Amino acid sequence: MGSEYIAPGDITKKANPGKATILALGKAFPHQLVMQEFLVDGYFKNTNCDDPELKQKLTRLCKTTTVKTRYVVMSEEILKKYPELTVEGIPTVKQRLDICNAAVTQMAIEASQACIKTWGRPKSDITHLVYVSSSEARLPGGDLYLAKGLGLSPETHRVMLYFSGCSGGVAGLRVAKDLAENNPGSRVLLATSETTIIGFKPPSPDRPYDLVGVALFGDGAGAIVIGSDPVPFTEKPLFELHTAIQNFLPDTEKAIDGRLTEEGISFKLARDLPQIIEDNIEGFCNKLMKIIGLKNQDYNKLFWAVHPGGPAILNRMEKRLDLLPEKLTASRRALMDYGNASSNTIVYVLEYMIEESLKMKKQDQGDGDWGLILAFGPGITLEGILARNLTV
């Protein structure tokens, strides 16, 4: 595994008293880096499949996802130890969970350690832990193993969010915001960790939609420290989390369908998923924008930190909201470099958002302070946070 800490940059703005802020970001990845151009041959070799039609389909999908690189836990060593993972119809959920439970804990520990390092305060100052994953299942949960691995106090208050999918990272931010604002002086560590091994399967003509996941999803972990009223000269706030909302869209629960079976998790994504999100995004965003007096013609006055579920979702959002191309640069960069890493990806987007903001600031351009942090997940659930960028 490997980890990185994300430097906070030059901070000049102050957060509003009592409002939760992001104080540090961190990330970690497994050692296995997959280049998209080599993925198809490697996947079909590892799964002992020689279906030319499926291979052509995956080749096309890999080009349309815009993903260039991804990190994955899966390796030749794992497949040698567990060759049954590549065989159709064999119960392998125990083997998968043995791999996943250990891997996501290790990545979450490394991302959290990187985050705490750049935060600059001792881990003993962490009062709450929010842990998010759709890649493990056990009792006690990963939150306990993460707290133990980090050496957090047994008095740390823990919250666990399982199987929130791609909206899990922003859902975790929403929960962490509430904890920070309702417990003065608290410092909340949010950690997300995901691996695709839980759903890894050999290609099958009976499941052509599985190839979308093969072409798109990646592994990794993210971590964020959240707290209100930052300590001057010690803590450097990156974003203020002003208002958070969550909506689900009635009668869309089958649009993102995941089932834990004896062969791992099986996913089905509806073809009209991007259209459903496009049809509902304006009304959802307007609920947050009206808080600061903005209307739907003001979309380009905001920054946009959007979970990149896939290029189709980003393209439809850009077109529907008439966004300038640079507005989704941070999301597109995260997708290109890491793939869709489920709940983790919003951490990577926020990192790139800071980079892009500082770059635009040097050029005397850029967004205003305000923006939206967005993600979409099973339900269909829309998560949104009205935020202020404090780094520009």
Taken in order 96, 380, 370, 171, the sign of the CA dihedral is negative
CA separation, residue 248 to residues 105, 117, 243, 272, 380 (Å)? 29, 36, 17, 16, 6
Contact 1, 28 (CB under 8 A): yes
Rounded alpha-carbon distances, angstroms, from residue 126 to 227, 230, 322? 10, 14, 41
The total number of residues written for the chain in this structure: 392
User: 367: buried, middle or exposed (CB in 10 Å: 19+, 13-18, 0-12)?
Assistant: buried
- 30, 220 Cβ separation under 8 angstroms: yes
Token couple for 314: 């980003």
Distances (CA, A) of 363 to 109, 285, 327, 371: 37, 28, 16, 20
Tell me, what amino acid is at 173? L
With 0-12 / 13-18 / 19 or more C-beta atoms within 10 angstroms meaning exposed / middle / buried, residue 250 is exposed
Q: Would you call 166 a catalytic residue per the annotation?
A: yes
Token code pair at residue 327? 């507005």
Query: DSSP E strands: which ranges in the chain?
Result: 2-6, 20-29, 32-35, 69-72, 128-133, 157-162, 188-194, 220-228, 239-248, 256-261, 264-269, 303-306, 370-377, 381-389
Q: 355 exposed, middle or buried (CB, 10 Å; 0-12, 13-18, 19+)?
A: middle
Task: Give the integer Cα–Cα distance in Å for 35 and 24.
Answer: 29
One of 62, 100, 115, 166 is an active-site residue; which one? 166
Q: Which sequence positions are flagged as catalytic?
A: 166
